[in-house]
């Protein structure tokens, strides 16, 4: 079997061939396809660029295609240089200038933790793509050291070593590098796919019958088969009779080698199934039939079932982060004040939709007794909030129903967004309720936001928290953290994010 690798470097081809060590695999590079057009690497993540290159190269060559994108991330610079590693100091690419800029940015900074990250993507000519990553953790030196390597090698000291990459032999560096780690993972996780004949891709359609499917199940099935079977997939249908049942069926789908689970339901069902798919190669697709549909709205997935099915059939797969509060994951939001307690009233109403949700909020506003909350964010000194009414941690922009509580939240940037509003500021917020829906809420001075990776929340009294539309019991102290690049998700091409 032939595998196209997006490189002209024969040494890189030899390194990949040696690490993959698959005798049935024949590697070919760009020298065999001299007329291939360049791929515009315009995505915001390494994984996005690698997947785009792999998909376009597979389509152009008619072969399985392997592509990568890599760079340096520095914690104190919130992940920069990141995908702009090669041109950190501007155009054209100049690594001496990049290194000089990096040292200037870190002047006087004690936290010099960093990592090289390599995203590797493997695509089939039919558009199916999978991806993984390898990382090499380390720190940034105070000055350049060594004459070997290239790029940021003179500044990067890998964990467990005292030498920079540029002071190491090529053999030593290649043995511990981020690319080598990614390739070793590829051999473990993709070796069977690269060695075995291509099988028909299987998709599980998992339906929550209680979530308000607007048309008959026959209509859903017809729409799904019309949109998906032209891509050569085999469709299977099951019902999710409870959260536990949905999780069990999602896990069985992973074990049975399904490439995608399409969830027909609301944010609660999507979240519970998504948690079962975290850390696997099986992708989550959301066909929204819930009340708020915050997950679907964030990614621009149509709210009409037939249109959603069609959009996801031609979607791309992206890797997103997940939040963790206590021992439970969430994908969209986690709330801990009045914004959590209103779920209690909403769950008691027999009617679903945005209007009953607003009535529940009004009812809980007069019943809810706020308590002070203290937080420790990313190891900083504690910060106290006096009687907050809104205390939401967001991985995505939406509560649902078009209410954009965290307009700046992004589910693929390795951070969570904290949004806080105090009780004393509620009248001003009510007067500006329109900002919740037009994406400008964060511009109000009464709304405080924090960007973080880990936060410890301390409350005087234990109270339930809201996670993706469901109420969950929680202790007085809660640790909230990000799990980066946890879940593969189908998103429509040319989507308007946060819509």
Strands (E), 178-273: 202-207, 234-239, 260-265
User: What pLDDT, on a 0 to 100 scale, did the predictor assign at position 262?
Assistant: 96
**What length is written for the chain?**
499
Q: CA–CA distance from 219 to each of 95, 107, 306, 490 (Å)?
A: 57, 62, 9, 22
Q: So which residues are the catalytic ones? A: 69
**Which tokens go with 289?**
């039939």
Burial of 68 (C-beta count, 10 Å sphere; 0-12/13-18/19+): buried
User: What pLDDT, on a 0 to 100 scale, did the predictor assign at position 360?
Assistant: 43
What is the pTM assigned to this prediction?
0.61
How far apart CA 369 and CA 317 sit, in angstroms, is 43
User: What pLDDT, on a 0 to 100 scale, did the predictor assign at position 359?
Assistant: 38
**CATH code for the structural domain at 202-319:** 3.40.50.10330
Backbone angles phi, psi at 4, to 5 degrees: -85, 130
Residue 174, SS3? helix
Do residues 152 and 114 touch, judged by C-beta distance below 8 A? Answer: no
How far apart CA 139 and CA 155 sit, in angstroms, is 8
DSSP secondary structure code for residue 211 in this structure = S
- For residue 185, count other CB atoms closer than 10 A to its CB: 15
Backbone angles phi, psi at 194, to 5 degrees: -80, -20
Strand-pairing partners, residue 328, are 325
How far apart CA 64 and CA 5 sit, in angstroms, is 9
User: What pLDDT, on a 0 to 100 scale, did the predictor assign at position 343?
Assistant: 54
How far apart CA 115 and CA 139 sit, in angstroms, is 7
How far apart CA 288 and CA 269 sit, in angstroms, is 10
The DSSP H or E segment spanning 299 is: helix 294-299
Residue 207, SS3? strand
Residue 316, SS3? strand
Average pLDDT by stretches of 10, the chain with 499 residues? 81 78 80 84 91 91 89 95 90 87 94 95 85 95 89 93 90 86 88 59 89 69 85 86 92 87 92 91 90 89 92 88 93 85 50 45 58 94 92 89 86 93 74 75 86 95 87 92 91 66
Do the first three CATH levels of 2-195 and 328-485 match, i.e. the same topology? Answer: no
How far apart CA 15 and CA 33 sit, in angstroms, is 20
Burial of 128 (C-beta count, 10 Å sphere; 0-12/13-18/19+): buried
Backbone angles phi, psi at 263, to 5 degrees: -100, 120
How far apart CA 343 and CA 347 sit, in angstroms, is 6
Give the domain ranges of the chain.
Answer: 2-195, 202-319, 328-485
Interstrand relation of 2-5 and 26-28 (parallel, antiparallel or unpaired): parallel
DSSP secondary structure code for residue 400 in this structure = B
Angle of helix 354-367 versus helix 338-348 axis, rounded to 10? 120
How far apart CA 362 and CA 337 sit, in angstroms, is 14
Query: What does the pLDDT look like over 2-34, one tens digit per residue?
Result: 889 988 777 677 778 878 877 777 888 888 888
DSSP secondary structure of 58-86: HHHHSSEEEEEEEEEEEGGGTT-BGGGGG
Q: Which CATH class name applies to 328-485? A: mainly beta
User: On the CB side of 215, how many CA atoms lie within 13 Å of its CA?
Assistant: 10
How far apart CA 385 and CA 374 sit, in angstroms, is 6
**Which tokens go with 4?**
């196209």
Q: CA–CA distance from 56 to each of 66, 128, 175, 182 (Å)?
A: 11, 11, 30, 21
User: What pLDDT, on a 0 to 100 scale, did the predictor assign at position 365?
Assistant: 53
User: On the CB side of 344, how many CA atoms lie within 13 Å of its CA?
Assistant: 18
Query: What does the pLDDT look like over 202-249, one tens digit per residue?
Result: 899 999 988 766 456 778 888 899 888 777 788 999 999 998 999 999
How far apart CA 58 and CA 242 sit, in angstroms, is 40
Third-level CATH fold of 2-195:
Maf protein (3.90.950)
């Amino acid at each position: 079997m032939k595998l196209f690798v997006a490189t002209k470097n024969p040494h890189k081809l030899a390194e990949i061939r040696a690490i993959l060590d698959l005798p049935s695999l024949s590697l070919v590079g760009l020298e065999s396809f001299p007329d291939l057009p360049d791929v515009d690497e315009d995505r915001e993540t390494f994984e996005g660029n690698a997947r785009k290159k792999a998909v376009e190269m597979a389509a152009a060559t008619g072969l399985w295609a392997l592509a990568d994108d890599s760079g340096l991330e520095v914690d104190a610079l919130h992940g920069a240089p990141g995908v702009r590693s090669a041109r950190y100091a501007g155009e054209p690419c100049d690594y001496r200038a990049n290194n000089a800029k990096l040292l200037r940015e870190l002047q006087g900074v004690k936290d010099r933790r960093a990592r090289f990250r390599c995203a590797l993507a493997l695509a089939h000519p039919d558009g199916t793509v999978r991806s993984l990553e390898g990382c090499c953790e380390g720190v940034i030196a105070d000055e350049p050291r060594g004459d070997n390597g290239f790029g940021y090698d003179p500044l990067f000291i890998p964990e467990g070593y005292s030498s920079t990459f540029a002071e190491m032999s090529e053999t030593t560096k290649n043995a511990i590098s981020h690319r080598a780690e990614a390739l070793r993972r590829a051999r473990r996780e993709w070796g069977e796919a690269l060695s075995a004949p291509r099988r028909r891709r299987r998709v599980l359609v998992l339906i929550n019958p209680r979530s308000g499917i607007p048309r008959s199940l026959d209509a859903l099935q017809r729409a799904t088969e019309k949109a998906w079977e032209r891509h050569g997939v085999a469709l299977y249908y099951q019902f999710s009779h409870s959260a536990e049942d949905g999780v069990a069926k999602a896990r069985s789908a992973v074990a049975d080698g399904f490439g995608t689970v399409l969830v027909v339901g609301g944010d609660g069902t999507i979240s519970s199934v998504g948690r079962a798919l975290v850390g696997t190669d099986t992708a989550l697709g959301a066909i929204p039939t819930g009340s708020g549909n915050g997950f679907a709205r964030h990614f621009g997935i149509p709210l009409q079932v037939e249109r959603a099915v069609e959009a996801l059939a031609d979607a791309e797969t992206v890797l997103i982060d997940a939040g963790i509060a206590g021992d439970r994951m969430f994908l969209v939001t986690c709330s801990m004040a009045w914004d959590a307690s209103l779920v209690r009233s909403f769950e008691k109403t027999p009617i679903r939709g945005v209007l009953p949700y607003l009535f529940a909020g009004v009812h809980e506003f007069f019943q809810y007794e706020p308590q002070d909350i203290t937080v420790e964010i990313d190891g900083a000194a504690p910060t106290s909030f006096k009687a907050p009414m809104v205390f939401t941690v967001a991985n995505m922009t939406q509560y649902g129903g078009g209410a954009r509580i965290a307009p700046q939240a992004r589910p693929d940037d390795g951070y969570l967004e904290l949004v806080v509003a105090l009780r004393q500021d509620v009248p001003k917020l009510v007067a500006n309720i329109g900002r919740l829906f037009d994406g400008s809420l964060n511009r109000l001075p009464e709304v405080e936001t924090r960007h973080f990776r880990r936060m410890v929340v301390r409350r005087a009294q234990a109270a339930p928290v809201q996670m993706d539309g469901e109420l969950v019991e929680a202790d007085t102290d809660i640790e909230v953290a990000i799990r980066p690049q946890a879940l593969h998700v189908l998103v429509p091409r040319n989507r308007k994010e946060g819509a």
